[in-house]
Amino acid sequence: MRRSLRSSVAVPVVAGLGVTAGLVLAGGITDSGGSDAGPGGPRAGVRTAATAAVLDPADRQEAPAVAGDDLDGKPASLRALRGEVVVVNVWGSWCAPCRAEADGLARLSGRVRGDGVRFLGINTRDRDRSAAREFVRAHGLGFPSIHDPAGELLLRFPPSLLNPGAIPSTLVLDRRGRIAAAVGGPVTEAQLEPLVRRVAEEAS
């Protein structure tokens, strides 16, 4: 690993995945909002820790084609964001850890926009768009989210980097559209920002 992301991050080595390191992000989120409605979600009061994989540029693979209508029926895609660093966040309005991380994502997306970083959400398992739109309004999310109620878009990603059953999940794509970092589980803005800035500072 070229440099430490945060002094509070533990860094065990991960073998066989072409990853620089597996990171256990400090400051796991406690789910106090009731049971997660998603399959395999944490129960109330269970402390969850986000884990991250950071890939060397030589080991990165291109993100799959992801496109669809956002929650307002407008087209959105990763292709339209090529040339920018893109943070892809998978969330659902039913997901308590998603609610816990949403305000931080809203703040971070605004703070790093001037550095050529864009956010794109994938809203999953919300059959009713109205519940998802209310979530966006409640947390002030200023970035689009593609509506993917059946989770079909999630199946296009490598399962080693994006587990379709783990909600929330977050990916950071470099300016060439390759997956540079993957976070499984809820993440705070303090945890995510060093990953995003690290990728944004890379030469394209």
Which structural domains are found in the chain, ordered by start? 19-200 (3.40.30.10)
pLDDT-derived band at 51, boundaries 50, 70, 90: confident
CB 200 within 8 A of CB 174: no
Distance set, CA 156 to CA 89, 125, 161, 164 (Å): 15, 16, 11, 9
Give the model confidence (pLDDT) of 84-131 as tens digits: 999 999 999 999 999 999 999 999 999 999 999 999 999 999 999 999
**Is residue 49 packed enough to be buried (19+ CB in 10 Å), middle (13-18) or exposed (0-12)?**
middle
**Residue given tokens 């994989």 in the structure block:** 53
Higher pLDDT, 165 or 23: 165
Of all residues in the chain, the percent with pLDDT exceeding 70 is 75
Q: Is 11 helix (H, G, I), strand (E, B) or coil?
A: coil
pTM to 2 decimals?
A: 0.80
According to DSSP, the β-strands at 19-24 and 51-55 are: antiparallel
pLDDT-derived band at 31, boundaries 50, 70, 90: very low
